[in-house]
Structure 1
Amino acid sequence: MITGIGCDIVQIDRVNKIYSKFGEKFVRRILSSREQIECRKNANPVPYLAKRFAAKEAIVKAMGTGFSFGIQVNDISICSDVNGKPEVFLENRAKEIFSASGAKNILISIADEKAYAIAYATILR
């Protein structure tokens, strides 16, 4: 049963401006340590950062919490499996709130095209 759906779209140029200004500080703020390793494999990390930020926003919208109740951006990890499919991993408050809701799984779809990154999240019970 679907218990939540979330969507977010991000301007890649906006993320580029933030990354240009703050660099690794920005990366550490929005990515988990697992994602940081994956991000560093990219010659241009900006699209990766934009897609991950959009995905995390979509997830907290689907949870119905936004980034409140103590949920931090880097409490949510989205890493690719061996086939490139994104998988969601929750830690800390995000995991606690998700588990308490009775939800069992988060499906995520992420894409980018030129100027935008977009993500859809579906929470299943």
Structure 2
Amino acid sequence: MTTIRTGTDLAAVEDVVAGITAHGERYLSRVFTERERADCGDDPERLAARFAGKEAVVKLLRPAPDDAVLPTEVAVVLDTAGAPVVELSGRAAELAAALGCGPVAVSLSHERGLAVATAVALAER
């Protein structure tokens, strides 16, 4: 049976700024892939949208409480037309495969210090 899986997340830009301020490169490299950072130019508002996207995808995958998905295993990058797309690796890719998920679509928005993302995928299990 095919099901629709969804995930939504809201992130505050000030939380990304605080992470960068407190931990600098260590925070950026643990949370974002090099491609995400390049796509965003390390702009906190755009990074917050990517963070919300990552969290929305993890909510869609619904891992068990003790089944960690690293932030860099879910990448929200831009395609050649400039639209956000999801790239999964590691445990995130394994969970998607186990669910029979097709490609994950993501929509991002940011305004007035907040970023929101919704992720959607069709799954066969």
Superposition TM-score tier, normalisation by shorter sequence: 0.7 to 0.9
Question: Superposed, which structure 2 residues align to 1:16-95 within 5 Å?
Answer: 16-39=17-40, 42=41, 45-65=43-63, 68-95=66-93
- How far residue 68 of structure 1 moved from its aligned partner, in angstroms, is 4.9
Could you list the runs of 4 or more consecutive aligned residues of structure 1 that deviate by over 3 angstroms after TM superposition?
none
5+ residue gaps, structure 1:
none
Percent identity for Structure 1 against Structure 2: 29
The verdict on how the C-alpha distance between 1:117 and 1:63 changes in structure 2, with shifts beyond 3 A counting, is: same
The verdict on how the C-alpha distance between 1:86 and 1:30 changes in structure 2, with shifts beyond 3 A counting, is: same
State how far apart, in whole Å, the 2-side matches of 1:85 and 1:67 are. Answer: 31
CA RMSD, 1 decimal? 1.7
CA contact (8 A) 1:60 1:66 kept: no
- How far residue 36 of structure 1 moved from its aligned partner, in angstroms, is 2.8
Counterpart code for 1:73: P
Counterpart code for 1:37: A
Q: How many residues align?
A: 122
